[in-house]
């Protein structure tokens, strides 16, 4: 009896070298759920666009900068990283870096464009599930990492540790949101919680270590910026004048 429960997870873990299991593909969740996630994401998109318009009125470099950072997030999130222990690959989200530097609303736009590119060119994620994927990666990931970073800084933690924690939480909360979306979209009446548990369990072996790697990447990126181009961190309000 036990093997019936263990087998699918074993196959999931062993069958693929590139388990890009992060973004929800087209066709998995129903049309109603897709529309619901789009509806939830639209206000964030428009707030993000409003923010970009306002900022680019005073600074002409802002739009090209967002374009470049989106390209960077796209590159980070298509890097399949083999996760130690389980022998599968997954990929970091890259939203922690963008939300810390650009702020959460603009980071939603960065994620939206990166996800659209992934869906169109690489068949990672999907077009009808774009709303759901933007919600998990763009909204949940960006806002959590930004909030954690700011909270840690207020508590007096250094920029590196704050970045590390923000990176970890961006990854873990994104996957938690994806698990919830999958469970709510696939579950029949009454089996939502058990399905959520199974899906979360399937994500744990890859996402637990990957979250820590993403934290390391975010901290490393901020450390390098702090050492070499502190002016960028000051310009983007990541650091205050006297801040460390």
Q: Output 154 or 195, the one with its CB closest to another protein.
A: 195
Residue 41 found at the interface with another protein (CB under 8 A)? no
Residue 68 found at the interface with another protein (CB under 8 A)? yes
Residue 139 found at the interface with another protein (CB under 8 A)? no
Binding-site string for another protein from residue 74 to residue 103, where x marks contact by CB under 8 A and - marks none: xxx-xxxxx-x----x----x--x---x--
List b or e across 95-115, with b for residues whose CB sees 16 or more CB atoms inside 10 angstroms: bbbbbbbbbbbbbbbbbbbbb
Contact residues for 131 (Cβ-Cβ < 8 A; gap 6+) = 34, 35, 36, 37, 38, 39, 40, 41, 42
What end-to-end distance do the CA atoms of the chain give, in Å? 56
Piece in contact with another protein (CB under 8 A), picked from 59-67, 142-150, 151-159, 173-181:
59-67
Residue 222 found at the interface with another protein (CB under 8 A)? yes
Residues 170-189 that bind another protein (CB under 8 A): 186
Contact residues for 214 (Cβ-Cβ < 8 A; gap 6+) = 92, 93, 96, 167, 168, 170, 171
Q: Output 13 or 147, the one with its CB closest to another protein.
A: 13
| Helix intervals (H) in the chain | 2-15, 31-58, 62-77, 95-102, 104-117, 130-133, 142-154, 159-186, 192-228, 230-235
CB of 229 to another protein, least distance (A): 5
CB of 8 to another protein, least distance (A): 5
Residue 6 found at the interface with another protein (CB under 8 A)? no
24 φ, ψ to 5°?
-80, 130
Residue 116 found at the interface with another protein (CB under 8 A)? yes
Strand 81-82 to 89-90 pairing: antiparallel
Piece in contact with another protein (CB under 8 A), picked from 50-58, 137-145, 151-159, 171-179:
50-58
Residue 21 found at the interface with another protein (CB under 8 A)? yes
Residue 108 found at the interface with another protein (CB under 8 A)? no
Interface residue with another protein among 53, 85, 193, 243 (CB under 8 A) is 53
Residue 56 found at the interface with another protein (CB under 8 A)? yes
């Amino acid at each position: 009896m036990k093997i019936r429960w263990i087998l699918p997870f074993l196959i999931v873990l062993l069958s693929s070298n590139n388990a890009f299991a992060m973004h929800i593909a087209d066709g998995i969740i129903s049309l109603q759920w897709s529309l619901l996630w789009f509806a939830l994401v639209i206000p964030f998109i428009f707030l993000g666009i409003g923010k970009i318009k306002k900022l680019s009125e005073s600074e002409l470099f802002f739009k090209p900068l967002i374009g470049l950072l989106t390209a960077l997030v796209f590159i980070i999130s298509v890097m399949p990283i083999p996760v130690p222990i389980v022998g599968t690959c997954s990929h970091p989200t890259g939203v922690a870096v963008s939300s810390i530097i650009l702020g959460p609303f603009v980071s939603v736009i960065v994620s939206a464009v990166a996800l659209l590119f992934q869906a169109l060119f690489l068949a990672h994620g999907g077009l009808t599930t774009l709303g759901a994927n933007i919600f998990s990666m763009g909204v949940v990931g960006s806002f959590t990492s930004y909030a954690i970073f700011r909270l840690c800084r207020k508590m007096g933690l250094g920029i590196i540790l704050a970045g590390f924690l923000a990176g970890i939480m961006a990854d873990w909360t994104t996957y938690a949101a994806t698990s919830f979306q999958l469970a709510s979209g696939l579950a029949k009446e009454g089996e939502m919680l058990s399905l959520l548990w199974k899906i979360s369990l399937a994500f744990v072996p890859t996402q637990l270590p990957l979250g820590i790697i993403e934290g390391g990447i975010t901290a490393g990126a901020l450390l390098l910026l702090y050492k070499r181009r502190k002016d960028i961190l000051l310009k983007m309000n990541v650091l205050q004048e006297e801040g460390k």
